[in-house]
Amino acid sequence: MAMTDPIADLLTRIRNGMQRRHAEIKVPASHLKAEVSRVLQEEGFIQGMKSIEEAGHPHLSLRLRYQDGEMPMITGLRRISKPGHRVYTRHTRIPMVMRGMGVVIMSTPKGVMTGAEARAQGIGGEVLCYVW
């Protein structure tokens, strides 16, 4: 069966990995997943990311980050735009997550970026997910 929402799969794997206190998780690779992971790394939610090949298929290996070795850096993930219900916004209406404590990850014409970056550049796009 084909996966219909790869971003939701990525977020679920991260959520499950954090709950189980895994140091590292592996997800099937795609360009969009790599870009979302890059933003998570830049924002300090994950330690690192590298591309690997497993059984002839490309995967991303994500090193999860914890505070004091126990508390996950990511306390919540929420998918906003879904395959059956896409959510787009203009730069003046980019939402705040947890009153600025969280991050909006967006897909814009200039690539995947945070809501703050999109607001600063004056571009809107698809609201992929919230991370806090």
Could you give the angle at the alpha carbon of 40 between the alpha carbons of 85 and 49, nearest 5°?
115
Residue 91 is predicted with a pLDDT of: 97
The first and second tokens of residue 106, run together, are 């967006």
Pair 69, 75: CB distance under 8 Å: no
Statement: the pTM of the whole predicted model exceeds 0.75: yes
Residue 2 is predicted with a pLDDT of: 66
Residue 84 is predicted with a pLDDT of: 95
Q: Per-residue pLDDT averaged across 111-126, rounded?
A: 98
74, 3, 111: which is closest to 27 by C-alpha? Answer: 3
Domains of the chain with CATH codes: 6-72 (3.30.1370.30), 77-131 (3.30.1490.10)
How far apart are alpha carbons 70 and 47 in whole angstroms?
Answer: 14
Q: Per-residue pLDDT averaged across 5-34, rounded?
A: 97
Q: Which band of pLDDT confidence, cut at 50, 70 and 90, is reported for residue 1?
A: low
Question: Does an H or E element contain 79, and which?
Answer: strand 77-79
